[in-house]
Amino acid sequence: MESPELGVGSLKDALFILESGEVYRNPTEVKMSQIVLPCHANHCGELSVGQLLKWMDSTACLSAERHAGCSCITASVDDIHFEHTIGVGQVVSIIAKVNRAFTSSMEVGILVTCEDLYIGKEWKVCHAFASFVARRTETGKVQLKQVIPHTQLEQVEYSLAAERRRMRLIHVETITDLLSNCAAQLAGECQEHKDAIPAEKTRVESVELVLPPHANHQVSTFGGQIMAWMENVATIAASRLCNAHPTLRSIDMFHFRGPSHIGDRLVLKAIVNNSFKTSMEVGVCAEAYKGGEPLRHINSAFMTFEVLDGDRKPCMLPRIRPEPVDGKRRYQEALARKKIRLDRKYIITSKQTQVPLSVPWDQSNQMYLSLNNVSALKIMVAKTNWVLTSEKNKVSLYTLEENQVLCFKVEMKVNIPADQTFHLLSDLRKRMEWDRHYEKCEVVLQADEEDTIYRVASPSITKGGKGQDFIMLASRRQPCDARDPYLIAVRSVTLPTHPPTDDYTRGEVLCAGFCIWEESSSVTKITYYNQASPGVLPYISRDIVGLSSSYYCIFSACSDFLKANKTCLGAPPPPPAAP
């Protein structure tokens, strides 16, 4: 069995967590197992992704309804990457559980695995995060009960769910902004290829009548059914380009904009927007109407297909000749989406340890780097096996060694309100006032209200040696609700405008930052975390082995700085600086 990535592992582990000697099972967990029959498969004997999406949606909906205690609808599904196809005769298992409830919406984590009964092997097919909303009642919006995480992995998922939600809710604006920026850069980027296939040849239009089996007991069309119909037309469009059997690799995040009901006619339109060397983007639009009413936009999705040869390697694909105006726009937007998709896949879904120390920052990956930055810190915050290494006047230094990675944290309490502490620690330039490792600190770029890139210079630890400098992205987060802390996450990035110089050794910070908990209206717990990269270790190694307590001097200076600025009014974020 492949080890599931963080974020999904909790789903598999949930059954086996022992708490006070008992087997713990998450109360929202729902499992479905299906043997793949020919009626679920396409002509190549592989489970149709549409059928899989229906099963995923029903399992996740049952989990959401178990938590909500009322009927729920699918609001959105984040990016899904399919790692394997599933054959007839194999068993598909789906596990879903609610990671977090907000007001009326919930994030449900879904893990799909496949099992070959004859060879006794099981592997991961995909994971997904879907958002479900409790249906409004006559009295208005439903207020859901909180999810209480019980295990460390549930705690991580709970914490990350808030971060993913933030990205989800601004997804449309983020993509629109990025597309308009990229479109300007790509204007005219529409090469004429000699043997290009006219996009028109791939166009599909199909209608479905929503019947009772397609809907739940509330007469609303199942989200999974709509996704299945969309996948069906997308597959036809993709097949028309390659004249072969296409394999669906990924579906971009999408949102069900409005409901559909029994009796609706669902009009599904698809076309290949662009084809790259070995993959193509198919766009699908689903609209509904009833009688003479105008069309309602239900959903638009973008799917990436490949064609695999006998060795399961992707084949070269024909190029596409877009139609004028809309076709050309979609062709360029598909190019931009390809870049965004790569950033998202690389930065969001890779395991933390696989993201390189310094990731190049640019406007199109800003959102994802920020999410990665905060998520990495949240994962460190959720770890429980810290060892107390040193303590002085209630300032404690802890370490944690795991998979050959050393992390440390310093914890203390201050009599300053949490929001003021957050405000004072948020601007890294103020750290020069209390941390002697911050010799210089300047704002290099103000990406948005919550994300700032700084250049920090630190003195050398050896006499006459070179100092180190760091280009760091600081991402700030206010609590999503009372159960969340304030966070200031820091990680290294690279910027072409700020290459390493001869005067300094370029240091790197993998994951660091502050977690600020409100203990009462006047008492705040501050924890500083750092995953000790080679650039950081020399500054703390003597403290860790007990030869020094410089951490104490720095953090008591921090405490003094906070006290001295206790009443300092909230200042606006640092001014924008040219890149």
Which residues are near ligand ADP by CB under 6 A? 203, 269-271, 273, 283-285, 300, 330
CB under 5 to 8 A by kind: which of ligand COA, ligand ADP, none does 284 bind? Answer: ligand ADP
Which of ligand COA, ligand ADP, none does 285 bind, CB closer than 5 to 8 A by kind?
Answer: ligand ADP
Q: Which is nearer to ligand ADP, 127 or 321 (CB)?
A: 321
CB 428 within 8 A of CB 346: no
Closest CA relative to residue 450, chosen from 420, 486, 421: 486
Site string (295-314) toward ligand COA, x via CB under 6 A: ---x----------------
SS (H, E, C) 165-226: HHHHHCHHHHHHHHHHHHHHHHCCCCCCCCCCEEHHHHCEEEEEECCHHHECCCCEECHHHH
Smallest distance from ligand ADP to CB 303, Å: 10
We find the least distance from the C-beta atom of residue 524 to ligand COA, in angstroms, to be 27
Residue 74: contacted member of ligand ADP, ligand COA, none (CB under 5 to 8 Å, by partner type): ligand COA
Of ligand COA, ligand ADP, none, which one sits near residue 28, judging by CB under 5 to 8 A according to partner kind?
none
Return d(Cα 566, Cα 573) in angstroms, integer: 18
Q: Apex CA 451: angle with CA 450 and CA 454, to 5°?
A: 135
* φ, ψ for residue 482, nearest 5 deg: -65, -15
What are the strands, taking DSSP E only, across 404-552?
405-414, 440-446, 451-458, 467-477, 486-494, 504-506, 512-518, 524-531
In the shown chain, the binding pattern of residues 235 to 274 toward ligand COA, with x for contact by CB under 6 A and - for none, equals --------------------xxxxxx--------------
Q: Measured from the CB of residue 263, what is the shortest distance to ligand COA in angstroms?
A: 14
The nearest distance, CB 34 to ligand COA, in angstroms, is 21
SS3 state of residue 526: strand
Give residue number: closest CB to ligand ADP: 283
The least distance separating ligand COA from the CB of residue 238, rounded to whole angstroms, comes to: 23
Q: Does 566 bind ligand COA (CB under 6 A)?
A: no
Work out what residue 283 binds among ligand ADP, ligand COA, none; the CB cut-off runs from 5 to 8 Å by kind. Answer: ligand ADP
Do residues 239 and 271 make contact, with C-beta atoms less than 8 angstroms apart? no
The residue among 355, 327, 10 whose CA lies nearest residue 160 is 10
What is the per-residue binding string for ligand COA in 71-110, x denoting contact by CB under 6 A? --xxxx-------------------------xxxx-----
Question: How does strand 451-458 pair with strand 467-477?
Answer: antiparallel
Q: 23 or 172, CB closer to ligand ADP? A: 172
CA distance from start to end of the chain: 46
H and E: helices and strands count for the chain: 10, 27
* CB nearer ligand ADP, residue 203 or residue 483: 203
Q: How far apart are CA 153 and CA 5, in angstroms?
A: 11
In the structure encoding, which two tokens stand for residue 282, read together?
Answer: 């198919």
Query: Site map for ligand COA, 367-406, x if CB under 6 A?
Result: ----------------------------------------
Look up residue 517 and give its two tokens: 């908990």
Where do contacts with ligand COA occur on this chain (CB under 6 A)? 73-76, 102-105, 131, 133, 141, 168-169, 220-221, 223, 226, 255-260, 298
